[in-house]
Structure 1
Amino acid sequence: MKIRNLQDLRVFVLAADSGSLSTAAHTLDLSPAVASASLKRLESDLGAVLLIRSTRSLRLSPEGESLLPAARCALAGLSDALDDIAQLRSSLREELRVSMPSDLGRNHLLAWLDSFLLQHPDVTLRTHVSDRPVDLYQQPVDIAIRYTDMADSGLVALPILAGNRRVLCAAPNYLARHGVPAVPGDLSRHNCLRFRLGNALHEHWRFSLEGQEVVVTVNGNRIADDGDAVHRWALAGHGIAYKSALDVGKSIAAGLLVPLCTEWTTEAAPLSLVCADRRQLSPLVVLLRDHLRLCCENLVDGFKATWPFTPVP
């Protein structure tokens, strides 16, 4: 048993509710003849008379009385679903203002956002590429993509790659000139490329092995507030960097950088999509997070076979 046309069901419900087939036809902007044909088609599909009609009256048959509540429910559910689709389509036309870190942003995220816009051409994107902290309450930014643990920040965070970690690495020509550090403590004798985030200088590098934690205070002749600059310095052989695996994974896979002290567990660098209020998590933002998560997973899959990076859950 199959109903061929939902319009037939609408005619039946309106006719039953109003007690008039002509009223149902007028409500649906149909001719009386088309409305009558719809009702006959529905009755033919179901193999039952639903409305007992005369020239002056219309009443439900027992089969019609049985069908009417389910028909009302089905049409109401369809209306709700269509409203949801309309709301989703509307939300997928919004403008997104996105802040992102410099290294991952320039070298990966911009391309990933390009592919997202190809899938959602009605979206307008404004990007802010910088490692300087963004105030999501004060600055004109909707969401930020950041390497950070937001548990105690009061902000709302959707994880993109929660198990991402830092990697200690240097170019082969630097290691040929200055030697390879065997343990983190050896870093005190090396030129380390340091990163400043706001007022905080990242000069205390943490490692652990078999329950033992080591914190090394590093020094060097280069400090940047831009993670991409640190990456470029490392590639040029100017020193040792301690950067996100997502940032340097392709460089390591290509042999341009060498991972160091790989038996030691490095600092966590979870990547998240962050916003100020849960109401900002529109369907579009959730779609973007899912897209970026897939891109990150594909990136990791592309380089994890060539060096021992294993993101924790």
Structure 2
Amino acid sequence: MAGGWAAAWLAAASLVAVAAVSGAAPQREPAAGAPSAAQAGLPAQAPGQATPAGEDCDLQVSPDPETGSQNGPAVQEIKDRGRLIAGVAQNSYLWSHRDAEGELKGFDIDLVKLLAGALLGDPGAVEFRTVPIDRRQQALAEGEVDVLVQAMPITCQALQGTPEEPAVDFSSPYFETGQLVLVPEHSDITGFNDTLKGKTVCTAYGSSGYELLSGAGQEEHGAWMRGRTNALDCLMLLQLSRADAVLTDSGLAAGMAAQEDGTRLVGQQVGEVSYGIAVKDGSDDLLRVVNAALEEARGGAWQESYDRWLKDWLGAAQPPSPQYG
């Protein structure tokens, strides 16, 4: 994808207020000859969940849908309103992006529609709102959205909160991923290894990639790290030749490779992290509905969506098993 379109998408991502999604960005189909999983150097199966580096809390704390109410105040508010308000991205290709007609499409969007169907009996009963990464937890805490479906990693920091970011709760994992390297097509970098020596590698602040490139990781591979607010900012630096590689979640890296001609994914996934659907802290009734919907999706809807959006780039995978606290 031309750098101009990427710049437009990045501008949308930098908004500082939650608002109803508006405007359009063109859709790109995966380039002809999209690499297979083997060509991309990816494992045939997504890895299992593990606590990310530096985390020491229990990440498996989501409530079992069979252990309590699925019709408490959080669920009732959505039913009374008659629509689900979902916080999403609009610039994350394959996950949540706008097509040529201005419609939101992608793996995360399919999940939102699935949730609306479970809560309201109508997959179309959704109000989508774009939420910048630095306001995701605030948007939930302040009731601006009911759920966040935005390829958001389940982390101790998000579960526990910080002085700047309120705590949130997560569903059982709906996607499992690891860090992966994206490079220009003719790069001599072959993965997260010694071929990074002397290279500038961009990653998002606070991400698993940031931890991998810090301290011992930087000493081991000799890469120069350049941090940015989000991974799409790193893609811009790669386009401008101000970075030699991007290190980010494999799912997001796949979207970048699909939208940006002249790039490719290299090496094996490093580390393990799970994406979850986030809700306001204490909304156990809503989480039970979400988890029940995810369980049902494992019977076919998850696989159909994955095969449509991600299989060509990440290879074959199956939905994560339920994980409850």
TM-score calculated relative to the size of structure 1: 0.50
How big is the alpha-carbon RMSD for the aligned residues of Structure 1 and Structure 2?
Answer: 4.5
Work out whether 1:169 is the aligned partner of 2:166.
no
Alignment partners' CA distance in 1, 2:317 and 2:238: 19
Alignment partners' CA distance in 1, 2:274 and 2:191: 26
The structure in which a higher percent of residues are helix is: 1
Task: Report the secondary structure of 2:276's partner residue.
Answer: strand
**Structure 2 residue aligned with 1:302, among 312, 315, 324?**
312
Work out whether 1:156 is the aligned partner of 2:176.
no
Alignment partners' CA distance in 2, 1:182 and 1:245: 12
Cα drift, residue 92 of structure 1: 9.5
Structure 2 residue aligned with 1:111: 105
- List runs of 5+ in structure 2 lacking aligned partners: 1-74, 97-103, 161-167
**Percentage of identical aligned residues:** 8
1:177-192 paired onto structure 2 within 5 Å: 179-180=188-189, 184-192=193-201
Change (3 A) 1:201 1:160: closer
Alignment partners' CA distance in 2, 1:143 and 1:285: 13
1:1-313 paired onto structure 2 within 5 Å: 91=79, 94-100=82-88, 104=92, 107-109=94-96, 110-112=104-106, 113=109, 116=113, 120=122, 123-132=125-134, 133-135=136-138, 136-138=140-142, 140-145=144-149, 146-150=151-155, 153=159, 155-173=168-186, 175=187, 179-180=188-189, 184-197=193-206, 203-205=210-212, 215-216=217-218, 218-220=223-225, 223-234=227-238, 237=241, 238-252=243-257, 256-262=262-268, 265-275=269-279, 276=281, 277-281=283-287, 283=289, 287=293, 293-294=302-303, 295-296=305-306, 298-305=308-315
Cα drift, residue 246 of structure 1: 1.6
> Moved runs in structure 1, 4+ residues, more than 6 A?
288-292, 308-313
- List runs of 5+ in structure 1 lacking aligned partners: 1-86, 208-213
Structure 2 residue aligned with 1:19: none
The one-letter code matched in structure 2 to 1:111 is: K
2:185 and 2:264 in contact (8 A); partners too: yes
Task: Report the secondary structure of 2:311's partner residue.
Answer: helix
The one-letter code matched in structure 2 to 1:169 is: L
The one-letter code matched in structure 2 to 1:302 is: D
Question: Relative contact order (alpha carbons < 8 A, sep ≥ 6): 1 or 2 greater?
Answer: 2
TM-score calculated relative to the size of structure 2: 0.49
Aligned residues: 209
Alignment partners' CA distance in 1, 2:95 and 2:198: 33
Structure 1 or 2, whichever has the larger Rg, is 1
Task: Report the secondary structure of 1:125's partner residue.
Answer: strand
2:203 and 2:230 in contact (8 A); partners too: no
1:194 and 1:241 in contact (8 A); partners too: yes
